[in-house]
């Protein structure tokens, strides 16, 4: 199993589908899309994902992608 990225489909309003497109073809990542991840208060304000269960948010999808890549690099 690779790095697990979980996304809330309601958060796509902030462009998080860009995260799916970036990582879905990379075998190092497992993408799981859910209707709700239980972070509703933050889901309506910023793009976010759960990376291996850790909440990560950013101001935009590109920053979120960069944060994911940085966290993964540090964990290797």
Rounded to 5°, the CA angle 64-60-68 comes to 0
Give the pLDDT of residue 75.
84
Which runs of consecutive H residues, i.e. helices, occur in the chain? 17-23, 40-43, 61-75
- The pTM is what? 0.92
Q: Sketch out the chain's domains with CATH numbers.
A: 3-75 (3.40.30)
pLDDT per residue over 20-55, tens digit each? 999 999 999 999 999 999 999 999 999 999 999 999
């Amino acid at each position: 199993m690779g790095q697990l990225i979980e996304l809330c489909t309601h958060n796509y309003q902030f462009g998080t589908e860009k995260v799916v497109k970036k990582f879905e073809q990379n075998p190092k990542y497992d993408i799981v899309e859910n209707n709700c991840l239980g972070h509703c208060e933050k889901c309506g304000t910023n793009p976010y994902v759960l990376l291996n269960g850790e909440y990560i948010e950013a101001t935009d999808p590109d920053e979120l992608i960069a944060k994911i890549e940085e966290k993964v690099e540090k964990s290797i």
